[in-house]
């Protein structure tokens, strides 16, 4: 399993390193396809950085990278397929898969829209993600994002313990909202899901832009998720 993950990381890392550092202090990353190679890189980096603690973990850590998210996810290898449920079944066994899903949590890691200084009116006044200020937790009452009170609490508690900054985003009611694979996987499997992402400018353009330290924040928080989720979830009681 590890060699496959390493090969995947090399592929994503190669594309990620094709980016250009920019800014007076090289504080920005400028590249095509930051959405969503950036979060793919962060997820794999977090998984590999926590291998030393794997032997003491009661859970199985998984990173899944899907094709076709930008065109609807309805393909044999997209998030709309039965790939995730099949993976759970093969890992846990058919007789235990539903119990395993209820004990699990999924972080849907996609990029987020930072508040552009030229268009601040596109964001709610209290929900304007900024670069350099941490991973963005994404909320939407119409379930365009799958974040709920329980999943956000768990990751927020991990962030608090790890001293990793996070931000919150909720789209304006009169502005259209994009979506992620989070709601697709939540409805297909019944797993708890939170939608998060590194804030960026110019999403889907030929030259996207994000902050270097937000990538580090994302890796730190995802590593904390891999290592701390089990202990926090075991002490969590939901009425």
Scan for tokens 């949590």, then name that residue.
105
CB 104 within 8 A of CB 174: no
- Which of 199, 195, 194, 196 minimizes the C-alpha distance to 214? 199
CB atoms within 10 A of CB 52: 8
List Cβ neighbours of 143 (8 Å cut-off, separation of 6 or more).
183
C-alpha 233/C-alpha 134 separation (Å) is 23
What distance lies between CA 45 and its chain's CA centroid?
A: 13
Whole-number pLDDT of residue 175: 85
- Write down all domains in the chain, each with its CATH number in brackets: 2-234 (3.40.630.10)
Residue 13, classified by CB atoms within 10 Å of its CB into exposed (0-12), middle (13-18) or buried (19+), is middle
Whole-number pLDDT of residue 176: 83
Whole-number pLDDT of residue 122: 86
The dihedrals phi and psi of 103, each to the nearest 5 degrees, come to -95, 0
List Cβ neighbours of 69 (8 Å cut-off, separation of 6 or more).
36, 78, 79, 110, 180, 181
**pLDDT by 10s per residue, the chain, length 239:** 344 444 445 545 555 555 666 787 889 999 889 998 999 999 999 999 999 999 989 899 999 999 998 888 999 989 999 989 998 899 899 999 999 999 999 999 999 999 999 999 988 888 999 999 999 999 999 999 999 999 999 999 999 999 999 999 999 988 888 899 999 999 999 999 999 999 999 999 999 999 999 999 999 999 999 999 999 999 999 87
Whole-number pLDDT of residue 89: 93
Whole-number pLDDT of residue 15: 53
C-alpha 233/C-alpha 147 separation (Å) is 16
């Amino acid at each position: 399993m590890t060699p496959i993950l390493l090969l995947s990381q090399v592929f994503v890392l190669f594309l990620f390193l094709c980016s250009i550092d920019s800014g007076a202090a090289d504080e920005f990353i400028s590249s095509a396809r930051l959405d969503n190679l950036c979060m793919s890189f962060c997820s794999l980096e977090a998984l590999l950085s926590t291998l030393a603690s794997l032997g003491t973990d009661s859970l199985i850590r998984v990173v899944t990278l899907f094709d076709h998210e930008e065109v609807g996810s309805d393909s044999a290898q997209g998030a709309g397929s039965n790939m995730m449920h099949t993976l759970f079944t093969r890992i846990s066994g058919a007789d235990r898969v539903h119990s395993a899903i209820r004990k699990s949590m999924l972080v849907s890691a996609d990029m987020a829209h930072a508040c552009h200084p030229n268009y601040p009116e596109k964001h709610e006044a209290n929900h304007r993600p900024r670069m350099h200020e941490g991973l963005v937790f994404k909320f939407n009452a119409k379930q365009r994002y799958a974040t709920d009170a329980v999943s956000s609490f768990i990751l927020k508690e991990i962030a608090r313990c790890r001293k990793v900054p996070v931000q919150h985003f909720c789209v304006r009611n009169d502005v259209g909202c994009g979506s992620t694979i989070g709601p697709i996987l939540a409805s297909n499997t019944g797993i708890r899901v939170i939608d998060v992402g590194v804030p960026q400018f110019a999403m889907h353009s030929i030259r996207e832009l994000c902050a270097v330290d937000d990538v580090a924040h994302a890796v730190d928080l995802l590593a904390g998720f891999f290592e701390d989720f089990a202990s926090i979830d075991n002490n969590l009681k939901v009425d």
